[in-house]
Amino acid sequence: MHKSCKQNGVRYDPRIKLLQVLIIGVLVFTLTGKKYEILLFLSVFAYGMISGIYKTCFKFLALYTVLFLVADISPLFISTTIHYFVLCFITLALAVINMIRTSEISEVLASLQNMKTPYYINIPLAVILRFFPTLKQDITCIKQGIKTRGIDISFFGFLKHPFKVYEMMLIPMLMRMLCTATELSASVETRGLGVSCKKTSYTEVKFRMLDTLLLVIMVAFYLTIIIIKIKNI
């Protein structure tokens, strides 16, 4: 088991987390207004707390609160950018992190296979879920390589030599992203996910009563928000 998948909270079906990512990805960019932004973030925050990623949730809460307050005292164009771009992506990022850190990739794929999801959906999803943890490790290695060359990559170092740090971070990162995507795609194909036959999995995933309850609460909450928006309550 990957270290990032260890958790202290409630372990529930990964399909609920995936559904939340999809719903949040749509609603954060369509339901405009401060109260809807806050409600959507709090919903993701609540499910993250249930999953047990407490530190991450509170870090995102602190960041969200600071940016929200900064937006209120900033000029209109800055405030608009923060509200309708930055805060939206923070909410979506927390939902994605909740799914990646608290669900094994094998669980997600097994769940989708149980739902008879087509392989052309499973394969890209498997690549995406493996891509970001791998990219994080690559970024750490790139930073260590830059430090060994005596280049300061701290915030103040970036202010002193922004273009140099930008170049030495961006180019290796783009190359590693390309290589990683290619390697992961080959790995997924090698595992036979693209073969059109009946597949089995070592991971057994069952939809329990708790999963049903969490799913119903989540769907009801988002439907309520949508209805409130439509009726302008």
What integer is the mean pLDDT of 19-47? 92
| Residue (of 214, 223, 225) closest to 46 by Cα position | 214
Backbone angles phi, psi at 199, to 5 degrees: -115, 150
Angle at 65 (CA atoms; ends 62, 69), nearest 5 degrees: 140
Tell me the Cα Rg of the chain. Answer: 20
Angle at 177 (CA atoms; ends 187, 165), nearest 5 degrees: 155
**8 Å CB contact between 17 and 102:** yes
Work out the percent of the chain whose per-residue pLDDT is above 90.
Answer: 31
**How far is it, in rounded angstroms, from Cα 178 to Cα 172?**
10
Indicate if the pLDDT at residue 2 is higher than 50. no
Burial group, residue 222, by CB count within 10 angstroms (0-12, 13-18, 19+): buried
Helix, strand, coil shares, percent, the chain, to 5: 80, 0, 20
DSSP states of 195-212? S-S----SS-----HHHH
The pLDDT score that the predictor gives to residue 108 is 74
What integer is the mean pLDDT of 162-172? 74
**How far is it, in rounded angstroms, from Cα 183 to Cα 162?**
31
102 vs 135: which has the higher pLDDT: 102
Angle at 47 (CA atoms; ends 46, 49), nearest 5 degrees: 65
**How far is it, in rounded angstroms, from Cα 83 to Cα 195?**
44
DSSP states of 156-186? HHHHHSHHHHHHHHHHHHHHHHHHHHHHHHH
| Residue (of 88, 85, 65) closest to 77 by Cα position | 85
pLDDT band at 1 (very low <50, low <70, confident <90, very high): very low
149 vs 5: which has the higher pLDDT: 149
Indicate if the pLDDT at residue 216 is higher than 90. yes
**8 Å CB contact between 40 and 225:** yes
How far from chain centre, in Å, is Cα 20? 10
